[in-house]
Structure 1
Amino acid sequence: MTTGAPPPTYPARPRRSRLRTFLPLGVAAWLVLEIWLLTVVAGAAGGFTVFLLLVAGFLVGSAVVKRAGRRAFRALSETLQQQQGGVAGAGAGGGAVGKSEGNGFLMLGGLLLMLPGLVSDAVGLVLLVPPVQKGLGRFAERTFERKIREAGGGGLGDAFQQARMRRPDGKVVQGEVIRDDAGSGEASAEGPRPPLSR
């Protein structure tokens, strides 16, 4: 005898992203390729040559990472000095942004050089070339802006614009929300409330 109740519905299982599907396969294929290339080079040139290549890659990669870290620290300290100096000093040291451009790809290239393997060394060396860094930086910026627009309907600037309350003349308004209960005089008896913490 049926009661007429609908069968229970279960929520649909979310689709697994392509990245989570193919990333483990890509990493496994990369490791197999690295090991195969190391054995081929060891068979052709000898094991000591492969060892020297790996040590040289590690040393060059660590020097590149150290240099990129110094550049990033120098750019950060220049930016902080400009902010402390105020608007007058902003025009004098405007090159800090230009110097730090490409630091992320420089650091990534150094890390890839430090990893043991010939493919990672080749990719790391390519990432050290400045035109490649600039091209990849523009591509990453366009991709990031597109993802932000798809998620929020506007660019990154629009997201920050919406996060602030502004007066019509463009000034940021600091304020607090005070709930005024019409039936009771408790709000006025308590006095002003402290501002909300940020």
Structure 2
Amino acid sequence: MFSKLFLLFTLIPIMELYTLVEVGSVIGVGSTILIVILTGVIGAWLARMEGFNTMLKVRESLAQGKVPADEMVEGLLILVAGLLLLTPGFITDCMGIVLLAPFTRKPFARMLRKQFNESVKVQGAGSFGSANSAGFTYYTWHSSGGRKAPGDGPLSVQDLEARLRGETSQEPRKAVVIDCDPIEDKDNGSR
């Protein structure tokens, strides 16, 4: 990790400086500075537009009841692309443009998501009521020890909106008790 950070914060700025000096000696200092400023402004505008498009895709996925995982990864890549485009230099601008273009961003997003999925190993935690998992009972101030009270159960959209507007007669929940069953230790058979 240290070597990657060393390369990121040392080698890339040196390469950027060298490239800026070389380009400046060929096309002139004023033109080089103008190009760097223009790429920053245009890059910020493009990143903003792509960010809005990705945000619309996230909302669309959520409205359809899907998890917007791909869109979130693309949003992260757009953020990185915007930062790279705002950083003065031609090398970071090229990397930012590659990440910002949708036809190159999507393969990067798939690769990142695949790498993330492989690195995260989800350990099965069991399910409620399972024989080999801890049993959890969630009591609230309004609940009656697991018995159904009138009005308990899934909320309708109208009930949720009424609660959010504060138009509910039910008192707010004040105390929570979580009752847990111990798990047997498989190694020594004790609780």
TM range (shorter): 0.5 to 0.7
- Which of 2, 5, 10 lines up with 1:28 in the alignment? 10
Deviation at 1:101, TM superposition (A): 6.4
Question: For structure 2, which runs of at least 5 residues remain unmatched after alignment?
Answer: 140-144, 146-174, 180-191
- Which of 30, 43, 53 lines up with 2:25 in the alignment? 43
Deviation at 1:99, TM superposition (A): 6.4
TM-score where L is the length of structure 2: 0.59
Alignment of 1:111-190 (within 5 A): 111-149=83-121, 158-159=122-123, 161-162=124-125, 165-167=127-129, 175=137
Question: For structure 1, which runs of at least 5 residues remain unmatched after alignment?
Answer: 1-18, 83-89, 150-157, 178-191
**Does 2:17 match 1:55?**
no
Check conservation: 2:50, 2:78, Cα contact below 8 A. Answer: yes
Count of residues in correspondence between the two structures: 142
Aligned counterparts of 2:14 and 2:77: Cα–Cα separation in 1: 25
TM-score where L is the length of structure 1: 0.58
Q: 1:107 to 1:77 in 2, by over 3 A?
A: same
**Aligned AA for 1:129?**
A
% identical aligned pairs? 19
Q: Which stretch has the larger CA shift, 32-41 or 124-133?
A: 124-133
**Aligned AA for 1:167?**
G
Aligned counterparts of 2:73 and 2:178: Cα–Cα separation in 1: 38
- When you count strand as a share of all residues, which structure comes out higher? 2
Q: 1:124 to 1:40 in 2, by over 3 A?
A: same
Bigger radius of gyration: 1
Say what the alpha-carbon RMSD is for the aligned residues. Answer: 3.4
